Amino acid sequence: MTSDKLNGRQLFEKIGKPTKIVAPMVDQSELAWRILSRKYGATLAYTPMFHAKLFATSEKYRKDMWCELDGDEKIDRPLVVQFCANDPDYLLQAAKLVEDKCDAVDLNLGCPQGIARKGKYGAFLMEDWDLISKLIRTLHENLKVPVTAKIRVFPEREKTLEYAKMVLNSGAQFLTVHGRLREQKGQKTGLADWEIIKYLRDNLPSDTVFFANGNILYPEDISRCMNEIHCDGVMSAEGNLYNPGVFNTSHTEDKEKIFPRVDKLLREYFEIVKSCNGSHASKIAMKSHFFKVLRPFLPHNVDIRANIASMTANTSFEEWEEKVVKLVEDRVQKLFEEPDIAEKDIITVGEPQPWGGAYRTVPYWRCQPYFRPVNGVTADKRVTDALKSKQSLDAESLKRKPECELEHGKEKEIKV
């Protein structure tokens, strides 16, 4: 480590104490999306997860993933570049290629997908602490910029704490904790565990720069997370993908800012992608972003869904504009010409939920969170029902439980 390298707290101060963070997502947190997210309130962004060996050895992969505008001081900072890796030498080679265009380099220790299992990286390094330590230490000792890490949790909170300490002791300067197990992915995602994240925050050194990840649906969830966990910042992945307005914490009463109309946001994003024409990654990611931004809108406009599905990486911007962007603008404009649109275009807030927040009902022409259905039941209902059931069981257990006292850290029944 060079003597003038910033430590975590110094780096955090230098980049403006960011509290609203775009998560690293495979093929989804690319340049254009980062620019858009910053316009909607994000104060720090991570790149997509790059494969360190491919980035270091394949010029084609590097050109596809990275361009001159990535990390540009005027439009793309502060920026953390994330790599997945299982070889310290390749990781260092890859990181050296970007250290002059970013504020830190992050090691992905959280990817739970099958490809990560096959390649032995991401969350599938969680059992190999020696390798993780070597990967982090190699960057810590040889890069100009600091190294950071993003982890998932173990079922056991004590083991997770020891794991987090090992990551920090190896040289990580920021720690991001995704409060889900490795197995919680796709339809098994469920709620992130804020309690274990708070346990880590409370038991790690107080000067640790600590970010929380998970359960961010609306802007107020960011402040709720920071207040409950006492973290330095909050990272959002899926919440940000479906609605960049999730970061607009200073405009919580302005529906145009926090639930933007899909036509306006789509146009804004489309123009950004065109301005990043040297970014192959941004053009490739556009189709997926269109589907997510328009998710509530497409069931009412199936022809537009079919048009998006027909697009490829080689489709011209002109065709995208004619077959998708303008059509969306025309359809939403017609909605707003209806005489009763003022009564229809309202956001309603539901009852407080066991997880601490409340769901919103948002018109389909506005960006909003997505609740993945399983067997026809959406995730918001599954989570709420599960928490209510747990609360009922806990209450019933308390009624039946004998009076107890603690003996050597364990409960002992008092005999009467």
Using alpha carbons only, give the angle 271, 274, 276 rounded to the nearest 5 degrees.
115
What is the mean pLDDT, run by run of 10 residues, along the chain of 416 residues?
80 98 93 97 97 97 96 97 96 98 95 77 88 98 97 93 97 94 57 90 97 91 94 95 94 88 98 93 96 97 98 94 98 97 93 78 95 51 53 50 36 28
To the query of whether residue 404 is one of the catalytic residues in this protein, the response is no
Residue 56, classed as helix, strand or coil, is helix
Note the pLDDT of residue 115: 78
Note the pLDDT of residue 392: 54
The CA distances from residue 77 to 242, 247, 297, in Å, are 22, 16, 32
Is there a contact between 281 and 64 (Cβ–Cβ < 8 Å)? yes
Note the pLDDT of residue 122: 78
Extract the tokens encoding 119: 């390649």
Q: Can you tell me the distance from the alpha carbon of 232 to that of 341, in angstroms, rounded to the nearest whole number?
A: 41
Residue among 111, 225, 231, 367 flagged as catalytic: 111
Determine the straight-line distance between the first and last CA of the chain, rounded to whole angstroms. 63
Note the pLDDT of residue 404: 35
Note the pLDDT of residue 237: 92
Note the pLDDT of residue 382: 46
